[in-house]
Amino acid sequence: MSKCVSISVTMATNLSIDPELLEEALRIGGFSTKKDTVNQALKEFVERRKQQEIMELFGKFPCDEDYDYKQGRK
């Protein structure tokens, strides 16, 4: 049986972040640390960009006129 091992690598980074924006994000997100706030913001940013990429594909593929979505519900 194989085991999945997850390794997390952290990197110390110095950033100049708008303090008012960070405080607002802390308050709205209910986070206890600036680190948690920034990490969540980055995750949400990446997820949103991936969603935008998928949405840009809508209408770019040919439609299968023979596909019956109701057939799959039976």
Q: Does residue 18 lie within any of the structural domains?
A: no
Q: Does residue 10 lie within any of the structural domains?
A: no
Q: State the total domains in the chain.
A: 1
The pLDDT confidence band at residue 1, using thresholds 50, 70 and 90, is: low
Q: Look at residue 34 in the predicted model and tell me its pLDDT.
A: 94
Q: Does residue 53 lie within any of the structural domains?
A: yes
The answer, as to whether pTM is greater than 0.75, is no
> Can you give the three-state secondary structure of 7-69, one letter per residue?
CCCCCCCCCCCCHHHHHHHHHHHCCCCHHHHHHHHHHHHHHHHHHHHHHHHCCCCCCCCCCCC
Q: Does residue 46 lie within any of the structural domains?
A: yes
- pLDDT single digits (tens) 7-61: 777 778 888 999 999 999 999 999 999 999 999 999 999 999 999 999 999 888 8
Q: Look at residue 44 in the predicted model and tell me its pLDDT.
A: 97
pLDDT at residue 62 is higher than 70: yes
